[in-house]
Structure 1
Amino acid sequence: MRRMVDLSYILQNGMPVYPVPWSPAFEVTQLARHETEGRESRKIVVGTHCGTHIDAPRHFIPGGATVDQLPLEPFVGPATLIDFTDAKPMQEMGVSEFERRVGDQHIDRLVMRFDWSDHWSTSKYYSCQPYISEDAAHWLVKRRVQLLGMDTPQADSPKNGRGTKRDSPVHKILLEAGIIKLEYMTNLKALGTEQFELIALPLNIQEGDGSPVRCIGIIEGTGATEIAERHERSVRKFFARHGKSSLPAGEAAFSLRFLEQGVIDSFGLVTMITELEGELGVTFSAEDLQSYEFQTVGGLIAILNRLAGGG
């Protein structure tokens, strides 16, 4: 069974917009009413980079392609979600960060998940976001990525705006190479999987340098075996990153009593619960956390399977 996840912000009066003069506030005004005109109609004022949107090359490249000139293929198709949720505010993501996460995969549509949408409607959303390095941007070009998505407002450092020595270099590298940038994504944690079908079609705006999109992730039905394998991968990934040691290979890991044997401490336990809930879209109950199952790696995976309906 297919599941659809909305990955775009609602366009509404008062919503955050990038704090520069050329990014107008979103406005919607009702012009016709059922009581008077017998119908409803509204006027909207919206910038080309308002809310969840794409950047066309013309945004930063003189003479670059505009929205109405772009092929449709990059906006629809298989996408891969890459986990950057351990990034700190204002942390630069370099080539090594991508190589460690992407490996040898060829990815046409790469979506970076920071969970930065948790800071939506705060000043931190724009001023402290993690970003990618210029070398990483060149790496993405060499890997022939067609579309780069993110749940941050941009790929550049917030310090590299207009009037600085380095005005938006990452934008220029990516857009010069024809890579579509999909910004202001949200709700990525609800996907619950790394592989999904992306739809992020822009409005067909003549000479458009960008456009708002209705961004959707589609997840195909997953069998119980695949769910269990995904949960095991997530648990192993957590211990590899945060545990005092990695888990043993194969089934030897399942009987490991991770807290009792000191693989993680109580602080790590809290981190594990938070990360697994966010990544897999599940919620542990008090009964789950106090159960005998929760003491071992195999029991933890079994709880995750049950919460996801996979066993």
Structure 2
Amino acid sequence: MGTHMDAPAHFGKGKWRTQHIPIERLMGPGVIINIKNKAASNPDYQVVMEDIHVYESRYGRIKEGSIVLMYAGWYQKYPNKTAIFNTDHHNITSEFHFPGFHEDTVEWLIHHRRISAIGCDTPTFELPQTSSFPVHQIIGRENVIGIENAAYLDKIPEAGSTIFMPVIKIDDGSGGPVRLLATYEDGIDTPANGAETFFERSSLKFAFILIFVFKKITVFNC
């Protein structure tokens, strides 16, 4: 499974399907909520309002139209399914353990910050044991995009980037593969250290936030 977009119609009846999403909703200010340390000690951690308050106290108010991505350090576990799902039973979702957003946080971000999308570097953006999928229901109802299985979120700054979400324009689709792209200016610190690439030496930096492919798609695919 690679990086994937849920269109609002994935859970929202009568909401945007893939070909209906306005182009301006496929880009926006990048917001990276870093919960890696919390998730390391608690794989069932949820992004709560305290995490948002800490972010805004450090970087300022989250802008309208932002793309809010949870960085849990999970992409580094790929392609080890046992590490990703925290169980040897790769097809029993009730036994999965990985972090996600709390539904109250998502409601607040939508209604008080008017964000365009949420996303994560985990297989999905809410706790996998759910049977009612409250976060999926909320973003579908509100025409908000969902991104799953992002990667390299530690390679871009937590604030100050612009994220692009080009998705395959599948006719009548409820989602599809997406290749995330972030741009940011020189001089903005990123959480990860490493050798400079061609893009990092440029006046406008680029980071590709993707790509892990399982030999067999198991869950959370459209």
Q: 1:106 aligns with which of 62, 65, 69?
A: 62
Which aligned runs of 4 or more in structure 1 are off by greater than 6 angstroms?
none
Structure 1 CA distance for aligned equivalents of residues 37 and 181 of structure 2: 24
Alpha-carbon distance in 1 for matches of 2:99, 2:158: 22
Tell me the equivalent position of 2:154: 189
Match of 2:51 in 1: 97
Structure 2 counterpart of 1:195, one-letter code: G
How far is 1:135 from its partner? 1.1
How much has 1:197 moved relative to structure 2? 2.1
Q: CA deviation at 1:110?
A: 1.6
Question: Equivalent residue for 1:81?
Answer: 32
Take 2:77 and 2:153, find their aligned partners in 1: how far apart are those partners? 14
Report the equivalent of 2:198. none
Q: Which residue of 2 aligns with 1:140?
A: 109
In 1: Cα distance, 2:161 partner to 2:62 partner? 15
CA RMSD, aligned part only? 2.2
Structure 2 contact 6–147 (Cα < 8 Å) conserved: yes
Deviations along 1:167-196, one digit per CA (max 9) or x if unpaired, are 211111122111111111001122255321
Once the two structures are superposed, residues 117-164 of structure 1 have per-residue CA deviations (whole angstroms, 9 ceiling, x without a partner) of 11222223232211121211211111211111211111211100xxx3
Deviations 1:191-234 (A, max 9, x none): 25532121211111111100101111222223xxxx6xx5xxxx
Q: TM-score, normalised by structure 2?
A: 0.72
Q: Is the 8 A contact 1:82 1:111 kept in 2?
A: yes
SS of the residue corresponding to residue 110 of structure 2 reads helix
Q: How high is the sequence identity, in percent, across the aligned residues?
A: 25
Partner of 1:119: 77
Contact 2:30/2:158 (CA < 8 Å) preserved in 1? no
What's the secondary structure of 1:175's corresponding residue? helix
Q: Distance in 1 between matches of 2:119 and 2:182?
A: 12
Larger RCO, structures 1/2 (Cα 8 Å, 6+ apart): 2
Q: 1:154 is matched with which residue? A: 124
CA deviations over 1:21-49 (Å, ceiling 9, x no partner): xxxxxxxxxxxxxxxxxxxxxxxxxxxxx
Structure 2 gap ranges (5+): 86-95, 196-200, 202-222
Distance 1:61 1:101, change over 3 A: same
Amino acid aligned to 2:186: G
Pairing of 1:243-258 with structure 2 (within 5 A) = none
Aligned to 2:11: 60
Whole-angstrom distance in 1 between the partners of 2:157 and 2:49: 25
Q: Which has the larger radius of gyration?
A: 1
Given that 1:82 and 1:102 are in contact with CA atoms closer than 8 Å, whether structure 2 keeps it comes out as no
Q: Distance in 2 between matches of 1:136 and 1:210?
A: 23
Deviation at 1:80, TM superposition (A): 2.3
Letter in 1 for 2:16: A
Q: Is the 8 A contact 2:13 2:141 kept in 1?
A: no
Is 1:177 aligned with 2:133? no
Q: What residue ranges of structure 1 are gaps of 5+ in the alignment? A: 1-16, 18-50, 231-277, 284-307
Q: Does 1:130 align with 2:104?
A: no
- Contact in 1 for aligned 2:100/2:120 (Cα 8 Å): no
Deviation at 1:99, TM superposition (A): 2.0
Is 2:7–2:17's contact at 8 Å kept on the other side of the alignment? yes
